[in-house]
Amino acid sequence: MTDAWGSLHIDVVDDEIIVTLPFTIYTVTYYKPPNSPQLLAKNFPSKDDPRVPLTQAEFLARAWRVATDKARELGWIEGKIPEPTALLLWGNLRIELRDDEIIVTLPGTSYRAVYHKPADKPGLMATFRSGRWEQGTPMTQAEFHAHAWKAANDKARELGWIV
């Protein structure tokens, strides 16, 4: 897996950073909205590439880090990547707070959901969802997203983001 990490390709086109893992379906585009302290993703893979040992979630985690490093190098963002604050909630769901995002994962699976609170909306918005069911996974993808939505909203209320 380490060799695959070294082969990530980064392109900067206009105001976007495109990260790809050559010879796979893995590619993601990052951009920085004017009022955001960090990059946002678009055009990301929706499934794992069975030809490589990296999951979609692993690729996206690494791609976000290298894109953030590139954005910092270009002067688009400042400071270091904040270390996430992790909590265990709802038994085995993991909740992380990173800047203005709530990230919900189910350890041991590829399930992941990211939520943020838009300034002009009363509630949370899902910005990213991933994962696929595999034999032995304790819940279906639909069940995970239902639990993740509830957990993220509970956390947002606790933080005062929503009422």
Token pair 């951009």: residue = 31
Q: How far apart are CA 62 and CA 73, in angstroms?
A: 17
pTM of the predicted protein model: 0.51
31-68 tens-digit pLDDT? 888 877 777 778 877 778 888 887 777 787 788 888 98
Domain ranges of the chain: 2-74, 85-159
Enumerate residue ranges in the chain where pLDDT < 70: 1-6, 79-91
Residue pair 99/80 in contact (Cβ under 8 Å)? The answer is no
- Say what the pLDDT of residue 91 is: 56
